[in-house]
Amino acid sequence: MSIDVPNTRRAKAQAKGPFGSVGKILDELDDRLGVAKGGRTFMDKIFPDHWSFMLGEIALYSFVILLVTGVFLTLYYIPSSDLVTYHGSYLPLVGQRVSEAYASTVNLSFAVRGGLLMRQMHHWSCDIFVGAIVVHMARVFFTGAFRKPRELNWSIGLTLLTLAIINGFLGYSLPDDLISGTGIRIAYSIVLAMPVVGTYIAFWLFGGNFPGTAIIPRFFILHVLIIPGIMLALVGAHLYLLVRQKHTQFPGKGRTEKNVVGSPMFPVFMAKTTGFLFIVGGITALLAAFAQINPIWQFGPYEASRISYAVQPDLYMAFLDGALRIWPSWTFHSFGHTIPFEVFVPAIVFPGLVFGLCYMWPTIERIFTKDNELHNLLDRPINRPKRTAAGVSVGMLIVVLFFASSTDVIANFFHVSLEEVLIAMRVLVVITPLISYPVTYKICKELQAAKGGKRKVANTVTRSEEGEYVATPAPVYVDDLHSDLAAMQVPRFIAPAPDDVEEGSGTRVVER
Amino acid sequence: MKTSLLKRSLILPTLALISLGPILLFVGGANASGHTPYQTTRKNAGTPNSSTVKKNKSGVVISYGNSAIMYNAPSSTLDTLGEALFMQNCASCHGTKANGVPANGVAAAYPDLVGLGPATIDFWIDSGRMPAADPRVVEAPRRFARLTPDQALAVAAWVNSLDPSLPDIPTPNLKNANAADGAALFALNCAACHTIEGDGDALANSTFAPSLRDIPAFQVVEAIRTGPGDMPRFTGNLSDYQVRDIVDYVTTEIQHPQNPGGLGLGGLGPVAEGFVALLLGVGVLALVGFWVGERE
Amino acid sequence: MSDHEQRTPVELQGLAANDPHLQPASKNPKQAERVIAVCFVLGIIFVAAFGACFWINAQPWKIGATLGAGLSFLGIGLVAWGKYLMPQGPFVEDRHDLANSTDDRDAFAAAIVQRGGDVVKRRKLLGGLLGAGMGIFGVVAMFPLLRSLGPLPKKTLDSTDWRKGTYAVDITGRRVRVGDLAVGSIVTVYPEGTQNTDRGQAVDQTVLIRISNENFTTMKGRENWGPQGYLAYSKLCTHLGCPVGLYEQELQVLVCPCHQSTFNVLNGAEPEFGPAPRPLPQLPLYVDASGYIRAQSDFDQPVGPGFWERS
């Protein structure tokens, strides 16, 4: 600029332009990176506000908490199976020979300032993470948000769920305590059960026969580096697709397949979502403060000939444990070979089928509905009774298996015979999905207001001045009346320069 | 196009029949045992491997043990009281001669109590399992004790007088106990039934391993040494020092866990944690999300 | 110099400053502002308290409670600010078609298909060789990831360390004598010398129970396997390898705590209930002249869960 600026405050402020120092910094950024247009577009991005869209954010922010607390934990945990003698503040362990992994975790819990809180926050937020992913996945499924063009995002999300479950298993196995060590033994046997290649893969994964000394360091690297790295990339892709394809929205007043109605990224959505991040962190910290989780010092170190009763895996693995408990002992043994179907089917085939079905669902639905259109508006679950019933059916199967992993706890709690509980679970796991489907279907049909549905539509009765009563059908979804305002474009704060502006008046002109 | 009523009414029964086959196969895939319990001969409770063994004039062992646990036979002065209490509370099932033959019942319908040692009798009465509330149940559960500790001792004294045996009533001395050894022994020997946190759990055929939260120290020794009911007994393979260590661990960490991380959630482990995470964690956060978002 | 204000007046295109879209959603913004301010103040107090608790190394629940309360209040305040005090909208954005025009799509497809086709058509041999090279490399690239990780299984799973004459010892290394166990007792035993090794614990672990005072036969061919009522079974469950440590002496069953497989002790640990497919292998025992319990040989079959090569 060649304008001479007089040395007064007002002149200097004017010379900075209408947006002050911040504007000058942004100008410099734009000179180097060209971010002005893209940044403005990004900040104008509209996010629909429905509460069910918050569920994915619970998962995302739990992931953030996992990363932050996880970094703290890696600074103190020692991933080694070498034996050391424990000398610390927990008396029942003093003098016992334990692995370094176990000793460092106990030390982290008792001797490191804030260590127990961080450990518990990490573990609680992992349980919340997987639970939130499942709830979010259910929302996406029941509202049909996985349809074109979002099938890829559905697959990415499913992969994130799988990786979250695996990483959770690896994570709670790291302290090498009695209960998680038992879980590792079971995992080894499941790998062994694979036909033809089982023994090879098991020996390669573990560096030999169970337990070996390689498994803890390998689990560690998988848990803190490899899988979180993949997950970060996938979360990035998940969010990028979300921004590029824009979020779906429920049908309602002013909403079409061709627009998005909601609040802009900056400042409204950013405020709400950052606040939600803090709340997720706060609730996790409160849980970690008041509810103890995974007290490994009570379990003692893992030794292969020790076992405890009432050992269940964490909630996200429980459905597999339930399947293993209730599946009968049908094994195959012939021609000099054994195929342990009693392990192979519930632990490998069954989850493979369930996850495979989930991955294939967008394709399956496209085949059945013959619908290849783009969908940006969501379905109400009751308007798609078959899909909703199928989802509830499979969901109930998983829920029953979740309960089936606690057969002994249930038998003890209600003081009934263990065998009866198991047989009841076997009956339930077959009957519950079979019954859920028609029941859900019926309920959806009853609630529907669309053609063929049985829902009665309300009438609004108005009285004219002459005294005549007129009944008009009320809008089907009364919630659509929430907003009295029609949606409008995010306001543009800059007017194009009028033609009669003098040069050098301090007005910044922007070409749009 | 409506399916005819006949077709619709046939679909459900057909489905039921088709699914019934695999269901039956699946459900019946395990056959619960039908064999009768094998009555163990319990009159060999192991020899005392202790440093001090005191016998009375007739050569019957009246006390043995070491600095960890002292075992004492109940005094014979309690015999008359014990006999009276026995006839009043126990003879209707166990018979007037304590040999399991009740007055007008089937022979050997109830356990023969002779020669089992005073610690056995004392344990069953002191833990409230006997007198049994319902004699027909598979195993008698722990209840409040119906006889006082002195009365239990008297009954034990009288039954023991019929055929003096071991083990005697233990008195553990926990002063020099090593809780770490106790923790290791507990994990190897006891956790398989009682769980590592000592909460007990359901076993086969409607039997239950009880919780260890409320049991006094000497009863722990009695249970370990006598093996009541389905619990195995630990005799020569656990020394008195090892049993003392286990008792110390049970009465400290098991019964009074430090729980520095907060509420213990009933010691149920991941089952309880899963419920709390889903209901309190995800549930509360979903409710918060309900407030953050809009309703349309 | 003009008479303009310090800043050029900002003109909102098509939108008045008092448009309802720009108004806060709250009916009483001043009240909302006060509540949010209280939330923030509480948040600051609790977060500072968290710092203090951490500094003095207070109990974990105090550190966690202050952190949790602080973050929650700050978060609630921020959400309420966004929800009640910021422009309520709603605003709209158009979705532009993701798909490009037909011309663009054709050009994209042409770039790949035609250019690629031209190149490969003329050099089919090279294309084939490259494909073969990539394929083979893809396969052998897996080798470092798999084969270097561990040894080949060979016959490792087929046997344990029990041999003819091996002494049975408990976890302290003490040899078990015939008088040690009463009827109804159980102890976990290992081959002498292995009790503190990985292999001893994980593979060789065996339960020793005494069910009688006389020799006991569990099934035909095992007449001398149970001297003086001592029976030994592999502790590895045949379902998934958990230690079967739960012994019920009146029911005479061994129950695996993991998935509740029940084994009948009297007939060779036949599974009676639950998912275990095979009986626990029985270890043949004998009592030597000094009264020690020793093994006659190794188990007659591989111990533990099933695998492909298990014949």
**Could you read off the pLDDT of C203-221 as tens digits, one per residue?**
999 999 999 999 999 999 9
In this prediction, residue B3 carries a pLDDT of 56
Count CB-CB contacts under 10 A for residue A363. 10
The answer for residues whose C-beta is within 8 angstroms of residue B187's C-beta and 6 or more apart is: A178, A300, A303, A306, A308, B196
| Optimal mutation site among B178, B189, B285, B291, interface A, most CBs of chain A within 10 A | B285
Percent of chain A with pLDDT over 90: 71
Count CB-CB contacts under 10 A for residue B10. 12
Q: Hey, are the CB atoms on A92 and B264 less than 8 Å from each other? A: no
Strand pairing of C230-234 and C206-210? antiparallel
Compute the distance between CA of residue C301 and CA of residue C234 in angstroms, rounded to an integer: 10
- The rounded Cα B271 to chain-centroid distance in angstroms is 23
pLDDT tens digits, residue range B59-83?
888 888 888 899 999 998 999 999 9
C301 reaches B (C-beta below 8 A):
no
A46 reaches C (C-beta below 8 A):
yes
**Helices (H), ranges, chain B:** 5-27, 79-89, 91-94, 118-126, 149-162, 179-189, 191-194, 217-226, 240-249, 270-276, 283-292
Residues C295, C226 contacting (CB under 8 angstroms): no
Residues C237, C244 contacting (CB under 8 angstroms): yes
The parts of chain B modelled with pLDDT lower than 50 are 1, 29-47
Compute the distance between CA of residue A269 and CA of residue A290 in angstroms, rounded to an integer: 31
Which of helix, strand or coil describes residue C59?
coil
Compute the distance between CA of residue B40 and CA of residue C210 in angstroms, rounded to an integer: 10
C59 reaches A (C-beta below 8 A):
no
Among candidates C181, C264, C273 on the partner chain, residue whose Cβ is nearest the Cβ of B235: C181
Compute the distance between CA of residue C296 and CA of residue A27 in angstroms, rounded to an integer: 88
What is the location of CATH 1.20.810.10 in chain A?
A: 48-379
In this prediction, residue B150 carries a pLDDT of 93
- Is it the case that residue A480 has pLDDT exceeding 70? no
Greater confidence (A152 vs B6) lies with A152
Q: Hey, are the CB atoms on C93 and A149 less than 8 Å from each other? A: no
In this prediction, residue B36 carries a pLDDT of 29
Strand pairing of C270-273 and A259-264? unpaired
Among candidates B31, B233, B291 on the partner chain, residue whose Cβ is nearest the Cβ of C184: B233
Q: What is the mean pLDDT of residues C84-95?
A: 85
Q: Hey, are the CB atoms on C176 and B40 less than 8 Å from each other? A: no
Percent of chain A with pLDDT over 70: 91
Angle formed by the axes of helices A318-326 and A350-369, to 10°? 110
- Is it the case that residue A244 has pLDDT exceeding 70? yes
Compute the distance between CA of residue A107 and CA of residue A127 in angstroms, rounded to an integer: 23
User: For the structural domain made of C160-295, what CATH number should be given?
Assistant: 2.102.10.10
- Is it the case that residue A455 has pLDDT exceeding 70? no
Among candidates A91, A279, A310 on the partner chain, residue whose Cβ is nearest the Cβ of B288: A279
Q: What rounded mean pLDDT belongs to chain C? A: 89
In this prediction, residue A297 carries a pLDDT of 94
pLDDT tens digits, residue range A287-302?
999 999 999 999 999 9
Q: A52: which DSSP letter? A: G
B234 reaches C (C-beta below 8 A):
yes
Q: What angle do CA C22, C28, C30 make, to 5 degrees?
A: 90
C186 reaches B (C-beta below 8 A):
yes
Residues C258, C149 contacting (CB under 8 angstroms): no
In this prediction, residue B108 carries a pLDDT of 61
Pick the closest to residue A476 from A456, A496, A452, A454 (CA basis). A456
pLDDT tens digits, residue range C221-260?
999 999 999 999 999 999 999 999 999 998 999 999 999 9
Whole-complex ipTM: 0.90
Q: Hey, are the CB atoms on B203 and C255 less than 8 Å from each other? A: yes
In this prediction, residue B62 carries a pLDDT of 86
Residues C309, A337 contacting (CB under 8 angstroms): yes
pLDDT range class, residue A157, cuts 50, 70, 90:
very high
Compute the distance between CA of residue C304 and CA of residue A304 in angstroms, rounded to an integer: 13
* CB contacts < 8 A (A, C): 340
pLDDT range class, residue C125, cuts 50, 70, 90:
confident
Q: Hey, are the CB atoms on C250 and B46 less than 8 Å from each other? A: no
Q: What is the mean pLDDT of residues A352-365?
A: 96
Give me the half-sphere count of Cα atoms (radius 13 Å) on the Cβ side of residue A395: 16
Q: Which residues of A touch B264 (CB under 8 A)?
A: 292, 295
A23 reaches C (C-beta below 8 A):
no
Name the least confident of A6-10, A40-44, B71-75, C299-303: A6-10
pLDDT tens digits, residue range C29-48?
899 999 999 999 999 999 99
Residue C198: exposure state from Cβ atoms within 10 A (0-12, 13-18, ≥19): middle
**Helices (H), ranges, B64-167:** 79-89, 91-94, 118-126, 149-162
Q: Hey, are the CB atoms on A412 and B208 less than 8 Å from each other? A: yes
Q: Hey, are the CB atoms on B237 and C249 less than 8 Å from each other? A: no
Compute the distance between CA of residue C62 and CA of residue C41 in angstroms, rounded to an integer: 19
Q: Which residues of A touch B30 (CB under 8 A)?
A: 328-329, 419, 422
Name the least confident of A472-476, A502-506, B219-223: A502-506
The answer for residues whose C-beta is within 8 angstroms of residue A75's C-beta and 6 or more apart is: none
B287: tokens are 């409710």
**Which of B198-207 are b and which e, b meaning 16 or more Cβ less than 10 Å from the residue's Cβ?**
bbbbbbbbbb
The architecture in CATH of the region A48-379 reads Up-down Bundle (1.20)
Q: What angle do CA C73, C78, C81 make, to 5 degrees?
A: 125
Strand pairing of A488-489 and C91-94? parallel
Among chain B residues, the shortest Cα distance to C249 is held by: B230
Compute the distance between CA of residue C47 and CA of residue C147 in angstroms, rounded to an integer: 52
Q: Hey, are the CB atoms on C248 and B204 less than 8 Å from each other? A: yes
Q: Which residues of A touch B200 (CB under 8 A)?
A: 412
Among candidates A109, A421, A430 on the partner chain, residue whose Cβ is nearest the Cβ of B19: A430
Residues A228, A67 contacting (CB under 8 angstroms): yes
Q: Where are the domains of chain C?
A: 20-85, 104-148, 160-295
